[in-house]
Amino acid sequence: MVQGPHTVLASWARVIRRTLDASGCDSTQLLLDAGLSPAMLDDPNGRCPAQAMARLWRLSAQATGDDAFGLKVARHVMPTSFHALWQAQSASPTLKDAFERVARHFHVVTDAWSLTFTQQGDEHVVRLLAPASGIAPEPESIDAAAALVVYTARSLLGNRAVAPLRVTLQRPAPLALETFERTFRCPVSFGADQNLVVWPHALIEAQLEGANPELARHSEALLTTYLAGIHKDNTVAQVRACLADLLPRGEPSQAQVAQHLHCSVRTLQRRLSEQQSSFTDLLDRTRHELALSHLANPSCSISEVAYLLGFADTSNFTRAFRRWTGQSPTEHRRASGSPGQTSPGR
């Protein structure tokens, strides 16, 4: 069965936008450069493509020149930023229960990577890892998630001095090392094998004053219902995933996609119409998003990108890209600071 493309809760992009605005950056332009329309952020329960979010993280870090940008994003998170996740955590009886709820429902935030919570001897470990989505999280997004884990513990326990035993991050050591040390208030290792936030048993088992079992159950039910609806009967997501798979073999037809989804062309058209979409629109949008992703890879030439997107030649791709962005692929690369290869033979 074709799986839908990985997505991120739109309100996460809103948090990034707030952080960019506070830093004096042009958040609207950065969103557009990442392939995200500001209008997409209006629905707090909406979803953004994970690839576009990865580009937004990368472009934001470049625009601010701040390798602690992810830590700053974590400070701009609000109680309603992640659907009912905060309510479910804050009503939990212990920190252990709160983290277990986050792990169970983390895909509300993103299904491109995962958060797990396990016990290892006298220690409890929050692990941030990428599954087989093919989308490596940007270091800043991992920084933000790790900081949020710590901020959550401090808030739930009502103690700003609370700190984990240690934090390990796969990212290279940042220039803003002191900012990381101030944020986590524990030993922080970089260039590690895994992204971990490690807690002592006694702290994890501490009772939370805000415990409310009924509220926790209701909040968790909301999260479960939301998760169930993300991919249910999502023909749009299935078509986009199918297009991404077929494009390197040439421009796919509706008949080809319908065959892959085991339905007739008429059924495919009806299902897309019911979701206020069309095959032509999805083909165009998918190509646009994949183009931005491929162009961010400096080892991929313009002609290779055209081939991967199913265009007959580079000139057709260039015309389409100029229609999407107002720039040629080469101009876009120059503006985004990714030189890449511009000729077929290089």
Residue 344 lies in a domain: no
Of 32-36, 207-211, 261-265, 289-293, the least confident: 289-293
Residue 1 lies in a domain: no
Same domain? For 178 and 318 the reply is no
Residue 218 lies in a domain: yes
Of 16-25, 198-207, 236-245, the least confident: 236-245
**Quick one: pLDDT at residue 338?**
57
**Quick one: pLDDT at residue 346?**
32
Same domain? For 92 and 211 the reply is yes
Q: Say whether pLDDT at 296 is over 90.
A: no
Residue 200: give the domain boundaries. 7-229
Alpha-carbon dihedral 42, 86, 20, 129, rounded to 10 degrees: -110
Torsion-angle region of 158 (φ positive above 0: left; ψ -120 to 50: alpha; else: beta) = left
Same domain? For 198 and 143 the reply is yes
Task: Determine the residue type at 156.
Answer: L
103: nearest Cα among 59, 34, 152: 152
Q: Please tell me the distance from the alpha carbon of residue 268 to that of residue 260, in angstroms, as a whole number.
A: 11
Of 13-27, 147-161, 176-190, 203-217, the least confident: 203-217
Residue 125 lies in a domain: yes
Q: Last residue of some domain: 213, 229, 245?
A: 229
Residue 2 lies in a domain: no
Confidence class of residue 283 from pLDDT cuts 50, 70 and 90? very high
Q: Name the average pLDDT for the chain.
A: 88
How crowded is residue 344: how many other Cβ atoms within 10 Å of its Cβ? 12
**Quick one: pLDDT at residue 255?**
96
Q: Please tell me the distance from the alpha carbon of residue 294 to that of residue 44, in angstroms, as a whole number.
A: 28
Same domain? For 156 and 181 the reply is yes
pTM attached to this predicted model: 0.69
**Quick one: pLDDT at residue 337?**
61
CATH at residue 199: 3.90.1520
Same domain? For 305 and 219 the reply is no
**Quick one: pLDDT at residue 248?**
86
Residue 67 lies in a domain: yes
CATH at residue 294: 1.10.10.60
* Gyration radius from the chain CA atoms: 22
Summarize pLDDT for 59-84 with one digit per residue, the tens.
999 999 999 999 999 999 999 999 99
Q: Please tell me the distance from the alpha carbon of residue 179 to that of residue 293, in angstroms, as a whole number.
A: 30
Confidence class of residue 333 from pLDDT cuts 50, 70 and 90? confident
Same domain? For 166 and 262 the reply is no
Q: Which residues contact 130 (CB under 8 A, 6 or more apart)?
A: 112, 113, 114, 136, 137
**Quick one: pLDDT at residue 180?**
98
Burial of residue 207 (CB within 10 Å: 0-12, 13-18, 19+) is: exposed
Residue 220 lies in a domain: yes
Same domain? For 184 and 267 the reply is no
Same domain? For 106 and 196 the reply is yes
Confidence class of residue 233 from pLDDT cuts 50, 70 and 90? low
Q: Report the domain count for the chain.
A: 2
Q: How far apart are the first and last CA of the chain?
A: 37
Same domain? For 304 and 326 the reply is yes
DSSP state of 321: H
Q: Last residue of some domain: 179, 201, 229?
A: 229
Alpha helices, H only, the chain: 10-22, 27-33, 50-64, 69-75, 85-90, 95-105, 139-157, 177-184, 201-204, 213-230, 235-246, 254-260, 265-274, 279-295, 302-308, 314-325, 329-336
Q: Please tell me the distance from the alpha carbon of residue 126 to that of residue 129, in angstroms, as a whole number.
A: 10
Helices 235-246 and 265-274, interaxial angle, to 10°?
130
**Quick one: pLDDT at residue 66?**
96
β-strand 166-168 against 195-200: which pairing, if any? antiparallel
Same domain? For 74 and 180 the reply is yes
Summarize pLDDT for 22-62 with one digit per residue, the tens.
999 999 999 999 988 888 888 888 889 888 999 999 999 99
Mean pLDDT of 195-208: 94
Q: Are 50 and 8 contacting, i.e. CB atoms less than 8 angstroms apart?
A: yes
Same domain? For 241 and 150 the reply is no
Per this entry, what is the length of the chain? 346
Confidence class of residue 345 from pLDDT cuts 50, 70 and 90? very low
Q: How far is CA 300 from CA 95, 200, 226, 250, 259, in A?
A: 46, 46, 38, 18, 31
Residue 250 lies in a domain: yes
Q: Last residue of some domain: 210, 229, 248?
A: 229
Same domain? For 107 and 248 the reply is no
